Every structure is written in structure tokens, then in C-alpha cells.
Structure 1
Amino acid sequence: MSTTPAPSALHGLRFAFGTLTVLPVRVHRWDRTAARGGMLCAPLAGAVVGAASAGLGLLLLFLGAGPLLAAVAGVAVPAVLTRGLHLDGLADTADGLGSNKPAEDALKIMKRSDIGPFGVITLVLVLAAQVAALTQAYDGSWARGALAAVVAGAASRLALTLAARAGVPAARPEGLGAAVAGVVPRGAAAGVVLAVAVPAVLCGLPLGPADAVRAAVAVPAAAVAAELLLRHCLRRFGGVTGDVFGALEETATTTALLVFALGG
């Protein structure tokens, strides 16, 4: 019996956790095969980050903190576990889009180390929306808040899987965007959507029909929001970059959390 699949799957997991989190996972391979496995496993890395977020939020609630403090901590955890790379990508993408310059000039703006006014405003609004939405989810129940954190984590990285599907080009010949652009077959990407959506609904069922519906809506809503941004970035930049991936992740996170904040 061949033993090739197991090592390949392991390299994919290493790629996902090594590039999308700060967890001490060493990436041994940086080729297209490992990148494909990594992007397919991206939602799993997101779920782990979301579980850490939920864990800290629940700990604070147990110690007597209110929903707002739990939500602030819950939003801070993903930022810490990614060294803020996705937030930085969101800010850079906002600056590039907001510049209204041709693709080449916009990409140069995105590579700068500083953050412009569009990036600052976007960061403030997105983080405020995430904290507000997660606060409302925790205010509904501790279980809803925890579910929202985990589902949002998985859905956010699902956006990366979909953005790495075949047919989506890279805007630059180097960087993370070039490494993962187009590596995921379209059929496999569709399968990952189901692999995220079905467990999300199953986790929501014990909390009641309303939370199961929220979980069912959060995953596709996050994917659609990220897809709209992706298409806009493709029109403006001609392809994806690491910054665009960060912006897609934060967009999907925010959308999923907003879904859990709705419905009373």
C-alpha cells in the first residue's frame, strides 16, 4: 500500500498552520502541492484560532467579565495568533483600493510599510463591527458567542480556500499570493464549503433552531461577501496578493459575526 497520501496531507496541514497562524509549526515544503493542501486545510486552522478565541471569551465570562470584555478578548486572539497579518492585509488593500490609481501604482502603495488614511479608517470600522457583533452574540448566550467565534474562524479561512481556486491569478510573480493562487481545484473548493457549513449547522443545533439557522447562513454569507471583494480586487489589481487574502479573511470574519448578532 502506498504511503504517499499521509505525508502529503501532513505537509498541507503544516502549510496551513505554519502560514496562517503563529503556532510553532514548521513548513517543510513550499511547493504547489503543499500549498494546495494548505489552502484546503485553511478552515481547520481557522477553527482552531476560533476555538482559542471562544476559550478566552468563555474564561472571562466565567470569571465575571461582561460580554463586551469577552468580545474584545475574542477579537484580539485571532490578531495575536496571526501577528496581525490579516489586519495589515486589510489595511493595505483598503489603501490600494482607495488610491483609485492604476493597478501597478496601487500594488506599490500596498507594499509600503506605512498605513494610509483609508487603511486606518477601515481597520477601525472593521474591528468595531467585530467587537460589537461578538458582544451581541455573547449577550444572547455564552454558547452563541462561542459558536460565533468558532464558525467565524472557520468561515474566514474558507474565504482563502475559495480565493485560491483555479482560475484566480496572482497580481505579482512573488509572495504568498503567487504561491497559492489557483492551486485549489474548483470541485475541491466546493467540497470544502460543505465541509465547513455542515459541521457549523450541527454545532448550532443543540443551541436551538435559531442558532442552527445563524450557523447555516453565516458560512455562505461570509463566502459571498469575500467573493464580492475578491472580484473587485481582481478588477482593480489584476489578481490576488497576500494583502488581498488578509482582506478577504477579515471581511469573511466580520460578515459571519454580524450574522450571529442578528435575529434577536
Structure 2
Amino acid sequence: MDTSPPPEPPAPPPPAKVLDGVRFAFGTLTVLPVRGARWDRAAARRGMVCAPLAGLVVGLCAAALGAAALLLGAGPLLAAVVTVAVPAALTRALHLDGLADVADGLGSARPAEGALAVMKRSDIGPFGVVTLLLVLFAQVAAVAELYAEGWAHGAGAVAVAAAAARTALTLAAREGVPAARPEGLGAAVAGVVPVRSAAATGAVVVLAAAGAGAAEGPYGAVRYAAAVVLALGAAEVLLARCRRRLGGVTGDVFGALAETSLTAALVVLALG
């Protein structure tokens, strides 16, 4: 008879620090090199709160190249194409791929399991192609309108919109939002952010956007804040649809939310 004591349970991982969250956010949401990143739930919680920071960096990179193209003599349309291409490159187009997959899954009109199976396919169906074309055209057209008002104005709007896009991911990772699958990125980050932390992050980004817009006067502050609020609202509408149809979030859903909120923010700022 074995009388040895039972093995002790493994020690829980140490609490995640802010730097762990920053590494998780950049390692998950960008292709920028990250060393020493943790991939447990504690780091994911911090990381999804830091998602707007990763979006801001991506947006600043896009704005810098777009502004450089303008200063080198490119027109607003060409500069807009350069700008829109940068986030795609810095994310390996994963968010765009997620948008196309979600469009195919929702457009299939199949039950949750069938829609998720459609989303896992490597090819892109007609719903995905049309959605990608319309979204990319909308982004390029909006950025071109913004650059037409001046490179600084366009660059600021692009940076704010990119931060808003990743803020939508923070809100989608809040407690109470389930994963549609037991594996994948969606399952890794689903429900990791406390509701209060998600709300606080959203409020901080809205206030920061208002501060950025204040450089253009009081109306600019209102316009930038409204753009972020409406962008997050558009993402919440899509999130609610995905929860009803798919049962929760997946990595593709997170990508679709990012592209939806980015496009909405750019369009609102261009209309203003």
C-alpha cells in the first residue's frame, strides 16, 4: 500500500505586472517583436486592458508613413492607401481575415456549429470578399478625406481611430462574454477583463480622444470623443450579433470587432 503523501498542487503563477500586460498586448495584437511575454490568463487580463496602447502604436506608425507620403508629394488618396496598408502589415492581416471569416459565418445562415465550421475554413467566401472590399474602400476613402484637410489632421484621426479599434477588444474581453470555442485566442482572452476595468479603459480612451481633438477647438474635442463612442457602439452591435449566432467570441470575432470599430471611427471623423 502506497503511504506516500499526495503530490502538492502546482503553485499558481505570480500576479501579472503591467509590463506583462504590455508584452501580451503587443505580442498578441501586433507582429512587433516581444521578449519574455507570459501567455497565462493573468497576463491576458492585463494585456487586454493594454490593448488600446498597442492600437495607438499601430496607428502612429500608420499615420507617420501616411504623413511622410504626403510630404514627399503623394496625393491624399495614395497616402491613404499607404496608411491603411500599415495596420494590415503590422497584424499580418489577421484582423481583416477575421472580419472576412465572421462575414462568411454570419452570412451562411447556419446554426452556431455550422457557422463556426465555415469560419475555420482557409478560403474566403462571397460574403467575406464583399465585406473586405467595402471596409477597405471605406477606410481608404475616409482617410483620404481626412488627409485632404491637412496631414496633421489626418494623422491624428488615424491614431485615435486605431486606439478606439483596440479598445473594442478590451470591452469584448470583459467578464460575462463567453468563448464560442474551448480553444484558440478567443478562449484565451474571453471574460478575462473585469467589467469595471473594461469600462474604465473605454472612458480613458474617450477622454484621451477628446483631448486630442481639443487641438482643433471645442468642436474637435466633441467630434473625436463622439467618433470613439460611436465606434465602440458599432463594435458592441456586432458583438451582440456574434453572441446570439455563434454563442460567444473567437479570435475571428475579435478581428472583426477591431476592423468594424476602426472603420466606424474613421468614417465619423471624415464626416465631421
TM-score normalised by the chain length of structure 1 = 0.96
**2:266 aligns to what?**
257
What is the correspondence of 1:163-182 to structure 2 with a 5 Å cutoff? 163-182=172-191
Q: After TM superposition, give the deviation of residue 29 of structure 1 in Å.
A: 1.6
Q: Which moved more, 1:40-49 or 1:58-67?
A: 58-67
Q: Check if 1:14 corresponds to 2:23.
A: yes
| Secondary structure in structure 2 of the residue aligned to 1:166 | coil
**1:51 aligns to what?**
60
What is the correspondence of 1:215-226 to structure 2 with a 5 Å cutoff? 215-226=224-235
Q: Which moved more, 1:118-127 or 1:143-152?
A: 143-152
Q: 2:237 aligns with which of 228, 231, 245?
A: 228
Aligned residue type for 1:135: A
Q: After TM superposition, give the deviation of residue 7 of structure 1 in Å.
A: 5.8
Structure 1 pair 211–262 and aligned structure 2 pair: CA distance change class (3 A): same
Structure 1 pair 7–177 and aligned structure 2 pair: CA distance change class (3 A): closer
Q: Is 2:16–2:46's contact at 8 Å kept on the other side of the alignment?
A: no
**1:34 aligns to what?**
43
**2:120 aligns to what?**
111
Q: Is 2:27–2:37's contact at 8 Å kept on the other side of the alignment?
A: no
Structure 1 pair 27–232 and aligned structure 2 pair: CA distance change class (3 A): farther
Unaligned 5+ runs, structure 2: 1-12
Structure 1 pair 164–46 and aligned structure 2 pair: CA distance change class (3 A): same
**2:103 aligns to what?**
94
Q: Tell me the distance in 2 between the aligned counterparts of 1:138 and 1:108.
A: 41
Q: 1:138 aligns with which of 134, 144, 147?
A: 147
Q: After TM superposition, give the deviation of residue 206 of structure 1 in Å.
A: 1.5
Q: Tell me the distance in 1 between the aligned counterparts of 2:175 and 2:243.
A: 14
Q: Tell me the distance in 2 between the aligned counterparts of 1:177 and 1:27.
A: 22
C-alpha distance after superposition, 1:178-214 (max 9, x if no partner): 0000000000011101221111111111123332222
**1:198 aligns to what?**
207
Question: Which has the larger share of helix?
Answer: 1
Q: Tell me the distance in 2 between the aligned counterparts of 1:127 and 1:44.
A: 23
Q: Check if 1:151 corresponds to 2:152.
A: no
C-alpha distance after superposition, 1:132-177 (max 9, x if no partner): 0111111122222111110111000000000000000000000000
Q: After TM superposition, give the deviation of residue 28 of structure 1 in Å.
A: 2.8
Q: 1:242 aligns with which of 227, 251, 255?
A: 251
Q: How many residues align?
A: 260
Give me the identity figure in percent. Answer: 67
**1:73 aligns to what?**
82
Q: Which has the larger radius of gyration?
A: 2
Q: Is 1:143–1:207's contact at 8 Å kept on the other side of the alignment?
A: no
Structure 1 vs Structure 2 CA RMSD: 1.4
Q: Is 2:15–2:42's contact at 8 Å kept on the other side of the alignment?
A: no
TM-score normalised by the chain length of structure 2 = 0.93
